[in-house]
Amino acid sequence: MSKVKFFLLALVALFFAATVSADVVWSSAFDFDGSEITEPVLLKPTDSIGFTTTVAGGSEKEISIRAINDKDPSINKLVHYEYVGDSDAEGTVVWNYTSLDIPKNETYTLKEMIDSTSTGIELSRKIAILPEPAALLILGLVGAMFLRRRAKSLLVVLAFLSLGALGAKATTISVGKCFQMWPFERKVIINYTVSDLSETEYINFYYTTDNGESSYDLRDNGLLTGDVGPISANGNYRVVWTPDTETMASVKGKMKIGVDVFEPDPPGPSNYMIVDLSGGASASSYPVTYTDDIPEGGWNVDEYKTSKMVFRLISPGEFTMGSPNGELGHKSDEPEHKVTLTKGYYIGIFEVTDYQYGMIDGTGSYNPSYPGRPRKGITYDAARGANAGAGWPGSSAVDSDSFIGKLRSKSGLAFDLPTEAQWEYACRATTTTALNSGKNLSNKYDDCPEMAEVGTYDGNAMDPAKVGSYLPNIWGIYDMHGNVAERCLDWYGALSQADATDPVGPSSGANRVLRSGSYLRDAEFCRSACRCINSDDSQDVGLRLVLVVE
């Protein structure tokens, strides 16, 4: 091969490698100061304050900025008002308080308000994270001109594969204006847009202070709220990052925010386990199979809500159990503490449905015309038994005639209810917010849009929904907020604030713990950290099964 041909081939290969790289899309640089704010910000009469609206295009919106006195809630003065059409607005407001009828020499908070729950800002820059198929085809044809026969054949195959992909579009991420609300707050506002979406995407967020040479996950360095994903529709989105005071205090200078889409890492080998219940209560055994592959059409189909049960493997790990004091709905029995789980376990990706319960238990009725609704009104005794089954945590035995006893007998596996720690770890799936969507509550009662996005609760349902009706968490587990309350093994009692390893709860008590809230509960009771107790005959109580991997 001549030097010219080799040089051209190297160029093509280099260009091809650059084209197929799925790099993070970075924002423009902005000033960042990670130190903690200790003094109030005082503004001079002529200071200008920048503002950025988050109005999604398509309809007119009212935008206002108010000066709020932190000492006197009755002082709430309009500083800026704007009425815009189908575009967003940016600009500055002159803080000229000499013309405002408010007390002088006071400290004020500026609050931006928009009459829409839509978030985002119109963006202009779009960068594809995958190569255009046409570019691959051209590269293949050009490269074939300079390669020997064997390599030429390889590139021809690549070219034909590219032809089959023509017309397909990769999800496009664009990062808009990102800025810190310093010196008013330490929070960083991140605006991004998603387009060409063909399936639900999971989103990662990063920061860099050296133009991407080193990057750090925002989730590891503070709290992310807002539109953190998974994202299921094209549009403009906004995320608020509250930097961790301890880890970010010394970071100062120019910062960029990066965004990309990713496939969640599977928790481990043999990611899924399927139990075949098609033989019903009269079957001598239930076949159990394992797979790493999701079937065509996915798990969220009626087959896995009726005649089969599917479980997801969760790897051992560490997480923060409980909720921070400032979380809306926080209860005193939810102290934050580190929990380490040393054993992996399979957990049902759905709550046990009415149909599945009837197939295993062999008693009661189930409606084959309405597959997928969770079984409700399940007592602890019905699930595990009133004799041997009442012995947890001293014993993991169950009564043979209980629901779990029958499933154990026919599957040959030691299925059980989850411990509180196992339940919360699987629910959170790496999130630290009130909901596993990455969002906190804006209302803790029955008018909470964040809760309405992830499950049924008192504000949007009279009955439980068909399992899988809402988006799963990042580990592919459905309906862990609301729907039916889910029984756990543990007795209810005070949680220790000390770090714990494989906790199993108190040795005795008056009530067992319920998790997830239900369709009868307000949003505050459906949070990831919320612990509930109820009478044993509560009609809104169901269950989800686990199997510990020994």
Q: Which range among 231-245, 367-381, 485-499 has the greatest average pLDDT?
A: 485-499
Same domain, yes or no, for 544 and 450?
yes
Per-residue pLDDT averaged across 89-117, rounded?
58
Residue 353 in 3-state DSSP?
Answer: strand
- Show contacts of 39-46: CB within 8 Å, 24+ apart: 40/107, 41/107, 41/183, 41/184, 42/107, 43/95, 43/97, 43/108, 44/95, 45/95, 45/96, 45/97, 45/98, 46/94, 46/95, 46/96
* For residue 208, pLDDT beyond 80: yes
Residue 257 has pLDDT above 50, yes or no: yes
Q: Between β-strands 337-341 and 541-542, what pairing exists: parallel, antiparallel or unpaired?
A: unpaired
Amino acid at 86: D
Please tell me whether residues 340 and 197 are part of one structural domain: no
At a CB cut-off of 8 Å and minimum separation 6, what does 189 contact? Answer: 52, 177, 178, 179, 180, 181, 238, 239, 240
Give the full edge-to-edge strand order of the sheet including 76-84: 76-84, 61-69, 108-114
- Averaged pLDDT for residues 195-219: 88
Q: Confirm if 345 and 546 have CB atoms less than 8 A apart.
A: yes
Mark whether 281 and 228 lie in a shared domain.
Answer: no
* Residue 369 in domain: yes
**Local structure of 532: helix, strand or coil:** strand
Residue 48 lies in a domain: no
CA torsion through residues 379, 382, 385, 386, sign: positive
Structure tokens at 465: 């929904």
Average pLDDT, the chain: 79
Give yes or no: residues 365 and 497 share one domain.
yes
Identify the CA nearest to 118 among candidates 63, 190, 54: 54
User: Which residues are CB-neighbours of 296 under 8 A, at least 6 positions away?
Assistant: none
C-alpha span between 345 and 6 (Å, rounded)? 53
Which of 262, 297, 312 is the last residue before a domain boundary?
262
Tell me the pLDDT band of 543, cut-offs 50, 70 and 90. very high
Final residue before a domain boundary, out of 262, 291, 309: 262
Q: Cα(399)–Cα(393) distance, rounded to whole angstroms? A: 15
- CA dist., res. 181 & res. 188, Å (int): 6
pLDDT in tens, 39-70: 655 555 555 555 555 444 445 566 666 677 66
pLDDT of residue 147: 31
Tell me, yes or no, whether 508 and 417 share the same domain: yes
Taking the alpha carbons at both ends of the chain, their separation in whole angstroms is 58
Residue 162 lies in a domain: no
Q: Do 487 and 359 fall within a single domain? A: yes
Same-domain pairing of 315 and 181 = no
Spell 114-138 as b/e; 16+ CB within 10 A means b.
beeebbbbbbeeeebbbbbbeebbe
The pLDDT of residue 296 is: 82
- Note whether residue 42 is domain-resident: no
Alpha helices in 39-148 (DSSP H): 133-144
CATH, residue 188:
2.60.40
**Which pLDDT value is given to residue 359?**
92
Q: Could you give the dihedral angle defined by the CA atoms of residues 78, 80, 85 and 86, in that order, rounded to the nearest 10 degrees?
A: -110
- Show the tokens assigned to 225: 């709220």
Q: Per the structure block, which two tokens stand in for 93? A: 């407001």
More confident of the two residues 354 and 84: 354
> What is the pLDDT averaged over residues 346-370?
84
> Taking a C-beta distance cutoff of 8 angstroms, is the pair 461, 390 a contact?
no
Distance CA 254, CA 466 (A): 48
Spell out a b/e string for 221-257, using b for 16 or more CB atoms within 10 Å of the CB, else e: bbbbbbbbbbbeeebbbbbbbbbeeeebeebeeebbb
Q: Looking at 262, 282, 312, which one is the last position of a domain?
A: 262
Residue whose tokens read 């399936």: 199
Q: Look at strands 188-195 and 108-114 and give their pairing.
A: unpaired
pLDDT of residue 300: 93
d(CA 541, CA 518): 8
Q: In this structure, is residue 294 part of a structural domain?
A: yes
Q: How confident is the model at residue 138 (pLDDT cuts 50, 70, 90)?
A: very low
Give the Cα-Cα-Cα angle 472, 405, 485 (nearest 5 degrees): 35
Domain CATH for 423: 3.90.1580.10
297 and 240 together in one domain? no
Q: How many CB atoms lie within 10 A of CB 8?
A: 15
Residues 289 and 249 in one domain: no
Which residues are CB-neighbours of 405 under 8 A, at least 6 positions away? 384, 385, 389, 398, 399
Same domain as 196, residue 295: no
Distance CA 355, CA 466 (A): 11
How many domains in the chain? Answer: 2
Q: For residues 364 and 374, give the distance between their C-alpha atoms in angstroms, rounded to a whole number.
A: 14
Mean predicted confidence (pLDDT) in 471-480: 93
The answer to whether 235 and 193 have CB atoms below 8 angstroms apart is yes
Most confidently modeled range among 123-137, 242-256, 337-351: 337-351
The answer as to whether 477 is a domain residue is: yes
For residue 99, tell me if it sits in a domain.
Answer: no
Specify whether 509 is located in the same domain as 539.
Answer: yes
Residue 55 domain flag? no
What Å distances lie between residue 125 and 135, 179, 195, 385, CA to CA?
20, 17, 12, 61
37, 183 contact by CB (below 8 A): yes
Question: What pLDDT, in 10s, does the model give residues 392-429?
Answer: 999 999 999 999 999 999 999 999 999 999 999 999 99
Of the ranges 155-159, 266-270, 350-354, which one carries the lowest mean pLDDT score? 155-159
Residue 529 in contact with residue 367, Cβ under 8 Å? no
How many other C-beta atoms are found inside a 10 Å radius of the C-beta of residue 446? Answer: 14
d(CA 525, CA 333): 13
277 shares its domain with 351: yes
What is the domain range of residue 197?
A: 171-262
The three-state secondary structure class of 78 is strand
In the structure encoding, which two tokens stand for residue 542, read together? 């169901």
Residues in contact with 504: Cβ distance below 8 Å, sequence separation at least 6, in sequence order: 392, 393, 419, 489, 490
In this prediction, residue 154 carries a pLDDT of 32
pLDDT in tens, 121-137: 222 212 222 233 333 33
Instruction: Give the confidence band of 269 by pLDDT, cuts at 50, 70, 90.
Output: low
Dig out the tokens for 328 from the structure.
């809306």
Task: Say which range, 177-186, 333-342, 393-402, has the weakest mean pLDDT.
Answer: 177-186
Q: Is the pLDDT confidence value at 4 over 60? A: no
